[in-house]
Amino acid sequence: MSHRLINWFRYASPQTFYPLAGKMIPWFWMLAAIFGLTGLSIGFLLAPTDAQQGEGYRIIFLHVPASWMSMFIYLVMSFWAAMGLAFNTRLSGMMASALAPTGALFAFISLWTGALWGKPMWGTWWVWDARLTSELILLFLYIGFIALQAAIDDPRRADKAGAILALVGVVNIPIIYFSVKWWNTLHQGASVSLTKSPSMATTMLWGMLLCALACWMYSIAVALMRARTIMLERERHTDWVRTLLAAKE
Amino acid sequence: MLLLFRAVIGRDLRLAMRRQADVVAAMFFFIIVVSLFPLGVGPEPDQLRKLAPGVLWVAALLATMLSLPRLFADDYRDGTLEQLALAPQPLGVVVLAKVVAHWLIAGLPLVMLAPVLGIQFDLSNDALAVLTLSLLIGTPALSGIGAIGAALTLGVRGGGVLLSLLILPLYIPVLIFGAGAVDATVTGLGPQAHLSLLGALTLGGVFFAPWPTAAALRVALE
Amino acid sequence: MHWNSLADFLAMGDHGLYVWGSVVVTALLMIAEPILVVRGRRKLLLRLMRQYRAEGVDRRDHRQPTTRRSPA
């Protein structure tokens, strides 16, 4: 038992994690490419036209995976944040800061594709629907996290402050979502219902799931790459980084 | 513990009295921002009545932001905070006391100004009463949640702007229920549901926010 | 295959602008992000190597101050 525990924490040290991540990154890129290409070809070449929305619905293959990822990455980020606060491991903070920009990117993609989907379907780029508004607020939360970490010079303090903010954010997200939803049902000005999802053919579902998997693999690959850079930067005074770079020269 | 609680509140109030200019400036900021809106959107009473709850509440959020950076900054600079962190009592109690003091200094004046400013927007008496009540119930939550941001940005460059970036998104539920209560009164729905949810937010905010705030303060003091 | 011609595919039933607008922006962002990460990493590596080299030179200087040569 204790032996296993030690083994786990061994991977939590940047020195052992760095080469491991380096070996895993190409595999995740490959998987991302495979899933992405099959998902997109199913979505854009094979899937039938939607009865209600015509061809415009194909944005769903980008929009839904991006929205899922933006929410999920926030959860993963908070998980790492909690681990960092609880066990004080260096790696957790690095993973959280490596994930944030990717999460913000997906939140932005989700908003962008949502606007381009909304224009032909409901005739407007933006509606103050509960889900769209929450996504926007999620983007704000990501930006707050990134800005806070960027403003603090000491990486240990940046990690901890970011972790507290991420946890406060994750507690608040359901409250924000509920309040926005409440607000939305009272103001019926927008008068478009988003809750009615298009009936999904199985091919559509498959395309979407594959695209979502591709986004997963992409996020892992990019986050690992960014984490490796952060590791080198923070551990630049240690011997392992010195020997690593000496070998490169 | 109660002794410490009262001592911290008393001290903060006394310090604020010595620097009245800050408190007054935040109040005038509130008044000016609210008064700018009719100039921007036109003086039609119907439109103003519709805008009033949102405008007053958003202005209240911004005015709160103005005083938040100083919540811990002075104590941090002169070392008092370090002393308080070393005290045997939990730091959360100190934070709670400072939140209460902040509300008395920054929140309560807004509540008292609100009905006067509401008159500018041609609000009915009922709406004015609910507006004041909603601010009375909601502003403690602003101080409580804001304390988290104030602690996180303590001693950080660009602290004030960063603080707004971190905290304003978290204020959204308070804004929705606060402004919604007034709105519901104007449209005849009755404000009870909004006000009770607002009360729940305040209770949650004031009693849970001190713990992450205390954690953030310890991080800043390390 | 769902499409009859390339033109059909590009038109997307009159929603081409919206569909391709989404695809292009998403693709650009998802290509740009890893490129930016790699570039940041390269910059960091160069900086660190330069820093280490400078430190290395310093150390040698302390040991043998007389053998210092001007860079050719």
Cβ–Cβ of B220/A157 closer than 8 Å?
yes
B178 in Cβ contact with B134 (< 8 Å):
yes
Cβ–Cβ of B212/A169 closer than 8 Å?
no
Q: Residues, chain C, total? A: 72
Distance, in Å, from the CA atom of A201 to the CA atom of A81, rounded to the nearest integer, reads 39
Query: So what's the ipTM on this one?
Result: 0.88
- Could you tell me which residues of chain A have a Cβ less than 8 Å from any Cβ in chain C? 44-49, 54-56, 58-59, 62-63, 66, 101-102, 105, 108-109, 112-113, 116-117, 119-120, 218, 221-222, 225-226, 228-229, 232-233, 236, 241-242, 245-246, 248-249
**Mean pLDDT across A64-90:** 91
Exposure class string for B98-134: b at 16+ Cβ within 10 A, else e:
bbbbbbbbbbebbbebbbebbebbbbeeebbbbbbbb
Minimum distance, in Å, between the CA of residue A235 and any CA atom of chain C: 11
Minimum distance, in Å, between the CA of residue A160 and any CA atom of chain B: 7
Cα atoms in the 13 Å half-sphere on the side-chain side of A29: 12
At A229, which amino acid appears?
T
Comparing CA positions, the residue from C17, C3, C26, B58 lying closest to residue A105 is: C26
Tell me, yes or no, whether chains A and B touch by having 3 or more C-beta pairs under 8 A: yes
pLDDT band at C60 (very low <50, low <70, confident <90, very high): low
User: Would you call A88 an interface residue with chain B, using a CB distance cutoff of 8 Å?
Assistant: no
A168 in Cβ contact with B148 (< 8 Å):
yes
- Considering only residues A247 and C27, tell me which one the structure prediction assigns the higher pLDDT: C27
Tracing tokens 């954690």 back to the chain, one arrives at B215
Taking CB atoms and an 8 Å cutoff, what residues of chain A touch C38?
Answer: 225
Is the backbone of residue B190 left (phi > 0), alpha (psi -120 to 50) or beta? left
The answer to the question of residue C42 being in a domain is yes
The answer to the question of residue C1 being in a domain is no
The answer to the question of residue C39 being in a domain is yes
Taking CB atoms and an 8 Å cutoff, what residues of chain A touch B165?
Answer: 140, 143-144, 147
Count the helices and strands in chain B (H runs, E runs).
Answer: 12, 0
| pLDDT per residue as tens digits for the range B54-90 | 999 999 999 999 889 988 988 888 888 888 888 888 8
B3 in Cβ contact with B13 (< 8 Å):
no
Judged against a pLDDT cut of 80, whether residue A248 lies above it is answered with no
Tell me, yes or no, whether chains B and C touch by having 3 or more C-beta pairs under 8 A: no
The answer to the question of residue C29 being in a domain is yes
The overall average pLDDT reported for chain B is: 90
Distance, in Å, from the CA atom of B96 to the CA atom of B9, rounded to the nearest integer, reads 9
Comparing CA positions, the residue from B99, B112, B101, B119 lying closest to residue B60 is: B112
The answer to the question of residue C55 being in a domain is yes
Judged against a pLDDT cut of 90, whether residue A176 lies above it is answered with no
Say which residues have a Cβ less than 8 Å from residue A128's Cβ, sequence separation at least 6. Answer: A184, A187, A189, A190
Cβ–Cβ of C14/A236 closer than 8 Å?
no
Element (H, E) at C8: helix C6-11
Task: State the count of interchain CB pairs (< 8 A) between A and C.
Answer: 91
User: A54 pairs with which residues across the strands?
Assistant: A50
| pLDDT per residue as tens digits for the range B177-187 | 999 999 888 88
The answer to the question of residue C24 being in a domain is yes
The answer to the question of residue C70 being in a domain is no
Cβ–Cβ of B173/A152 closer than 8 Å?
no
The answer to the question of residue C22 being in a domain is yes
Q: Give the total number of structural domains in chain C.
A: 1
Q: Which of A4-13, A116-125, B61-70, B153-162 is predicted with the least confidence, judged by mean pLDDT?
A: A4-13
Taking CB atoms and an 8 Å cutoff, what residues of chain A touch B156?
Answer: 148, 151-152
pLDDT band at A193 (very low <50, low <70, confident <90, very high): very low
Cβ–Cβ of C30/A218 closer than 8 Å?
yes
Q: Percentage of residues in chain C with pLDDT exceeding 70?
A: 75
Q: Percentage of residues in chain B with pLDDT exceeding 90?
A: 50
This prediction has a pTM of: 0.87
Structural domain that includes position C39: 6-59
